[in-house]
Structure 1
Amino acid sequence: MEKGNKKLALLVGCNYPNTRNELHGCINDVLEMRQVLVNRFRFDPNQIELLTDAPGSSVMPTGANIKGALDKMVSKAEDGDVLFFHYSGHGTRIPSRQPGRPFRQDEAIVPCDFNLITGTYYVDFRQIVNRLPKGASFTILSDSCHSGGLIDKEKEQIGPSSIIQESQKLCSSKPKTIPFQSILEHLSSLTSINTSDIGTHLLEYFGADASIRFRLAPHQESELFEFLKPDEGILLSGCQANETSADMSPIEGGGKAYGAFSNAVQIVLKEHSDPLSNREVVMMARKILQEQHVEQHPCLYCSDENADACFLLQPETES
């Protein structure tokens, strides 16, 4: 990477404090990742934006704020820049409403206000990736449930596995998922509208801040699909699209809670000082989770070239 190219990062951790969906390790995940970016990859701390729902946070990780921060980061990007988005929090699956298409469930992340940010079928993340300037890289590391399809149309480089390990109770764990019905019930309580169409609730409550998935008419969606570019994003997902990611809390010893996938990636990066490819990071993280008897299988979605490119490009060395 040429000197002078910017390295930009957005790190989002949602613990959903004082709710029935509360997690415990997500904020720890992104705080630890910030240190990894600064110490290993020489990110400028001023170019790292952190959004968490910790008590007292000045900017909460709402759907609008996350998309706004992503938009700002991409708008600043130039040819050759390195962009990184790390999300740790709940994910969910939304029943598809695409007319004339086979039934499927779309993946989404769940901001603290439940204003879903969608990945599958064109939409939010694909729109962001399509705006990248030529030569810029955009890596997404998503430690959330059902995260295997957050950048639609990317090639599956490391996909599903059927290996299941017997669990060891060194940590208690909680899946980072919220059932679709729970989200629907929550939004229905906000809008007082009697419908099972989640898009109706999101549009009513969040208006223009709702996902583009729910704001486009069917003919607009079809037109948008024609302009998607399948090879400019890199997604390291914490699990397969049909799996859940684990939020781990040590049973003994008073250790910090953490996301299983975020922690595995951070272990890999700390134990290997040489540059690692995206493929190597995912395979090594998958091996760590297998050794820890965590039943989730990280995946990699990107072009063939990006699969073997260095994760976040080659770290700069001390002069």
Structure 2
Amino acid sequence: MSMLVNCSNCRTPLQLPPGAASIRCAVCQAITPIAYHRDIVPPHYNHQFAPPPPPPSPYNHALPGGPPPSPYGRKRAVICGISYHNSRNELKGCINDARCMRYLLINRFKFPESSIIMLTEEENDRNKIPTKHNLRMALYWLVQGCQPGDSLVFHYSGHGSQKRNYTGDEVDGYDETLCPLDFETQGMIIDDEINATIVRPLPRGVKLHAIIDACHSGTVLDLPFLCRMNRSGQYVWEDHRPRSGTWKGTNGGEAISFSGCDDNQTSADTSALSRITSTGAMTFCFIQAIERGHGATYGSILNSMRTTIRSTSGGTGGGQVTSLMTMLLTGGSTGGGLRQEPQLTSYEQFDVYSKPFAL
């Protein structure tokens, strides 16, 4: 079972990597020896299946380059947009996606600017370049010390892929992955690690929303249930819990993910929905759903996104831009639909048309 240890200086609860001799606090930078045993406490799990110990973690120190935003803000987010500039993997709209999502969170959902970590190739801080290490550290920061009432957001726009799964805990036999900037040399981040880092630690009262604009991203958070919706808006929940009984849900909190496509689909980059400013199709449709008044429930958002993807010939109303995105996004009409279907996955099953959406 994974353990928690309180920082010897500021008392922040820290997740203890197995076998670690000490741990550095992400808030005050103090190093706590594990011999400080009286503050080690086991987390309390309240699910049918207790989560297994996470894999050895590299997250035993804070993001380098100065202290990150305080992890105790009621709202905080990690936004990652990767263009893979000057490579064979180059994408056009991912940094625009990151900018648009940041604007949406700050202006529509009142996220403090200081509580958003941006990872793009255009950041001046080398520690905010979206490498595998920096993305891992940012995800760990996102959930570090979270408390009841916190709202967390992870937005990713970039390449996604799949790897053969040999443990039998994937319905389709493949792990889904995210591809950081240096994935060709450092490797991808697989869904098991994402789940262990930002899903399983979530305590009761904390909610996490992920918006993942990438190929093969349907179950990239490895959440237990997938909402399978047809074109008329009817849906059923698919059970994606591993037969082994391994728990892939939370420690009592809420975790819900919108993703750009099913696990076996690719997600369009980007000019398919805009001829002037490139953006990812999924990110564009998510923002449009919010801006056009379809953001009341999870079902209304998902239905709106899927309708927009299918009927992109309608574009953004003949070039009329939405009010919130005027400074960031200029839409244009397109021809033909896109062959991707946005997906919704969750820590639990619920009525998607009655559960209110809120960040």
Q: TM-score, normalised by structure 1?
A: 0.70
- 8 Å Cα contact 2:142-2:198 kept in structure 1: no
- 8 Å Cα contact 1:143-1:238 kept in structure 2: yes
Within the alignment, does 1:142 sit opposite 2:212 as a pair? yes
* Matched residue, 2:349: 304
Listed as ranges, the gaps of 5+ residues in structure 1 are 162-220, 314-319
Q: Aligned equivalents of 2:203 and 2:153: distance in 1?
A: 14
- 8 Å Cα contact 2:163-2:177 kept in structure 1: yes
Deviation at 1:49, TM superposition (A): 0.9
- 8 Å Cα contact 1:15-1:54 kept in structure 2: no
Q: Aligned equivalents of 2:86 and 2:141: distance in 1?
A: 30
- The worse-fitting range, judged by mean Cα deviation, of 13-22 and 46-55 is 46-55
Greater Rg by CA: 2
Q: How does 1:260-275 map to 2 (within 5 A)?
A: 260-272=281-293, 275=295
Q: Match for 1:278 among 268, 285, 298? A: 298
* Matched residue, 2:178: 109
* Matched residue, 1:43: 111
Deviation at 1:267, TM superposition (A): 1.1
Q: How does 1:88-237 map to 2 (within 5 A)?
A: 88-98=157-167, 104-114=173-183, 115-119=187-191, 122-159=192-229, 226-229=246-249, 232-237=254-259
How many residue pairs get matched?
A: 247
- The worse-fitting range, judged by mean Cα deviation, of 227-236 and 145-154 is 227-236
* Matched residue, 2:88: 20
Q: Secondary structure at the match of 2:144?
A: helix
- 8 Å Cα contact 1:139-1:312 kept in structure 2: no
Q: Is the alpha carbon distance of 1:306 and 1:50 closer, same or farther for their aligned partners in structure 2, counting shifts above 3 Å?
A: farther
- 8 Å Cα contact 1:93-1:107 kept in structure 2: yes
Listed as ranges, the gaps of 5+ residues in structure 2 are 1-71, 232-241, 313-336
Deviation at 1:222, TM superposition (A): 11
Q: Is the alpha carbon distance of 1:30 and 1:310 closer, same or farther for their aligned partners in structure 2, counting shifts above 3 Å?
A: farther
Within the alignment, does 1:246 sit opposite 2:290 as a pair? no
Q: Return the structure number with greater relative CO, CA threshold 8 A, min gap 6.
A: 1
Equivalent residue letter for 2:358: L
Q: TM-score, normalised by structure 2?
A: 0.62
Post-superposition CA distance 1:243-284 (Å, at most 9, x none): 00000226996x111100000111111121x75222221111
Identity of aligned residues (%): 31
- 8 Å Cα contact 1:151-1:235 kept in structure 2: yes
Within the alignment, does 1:30 sit opposite 2:98 as a pair? yes
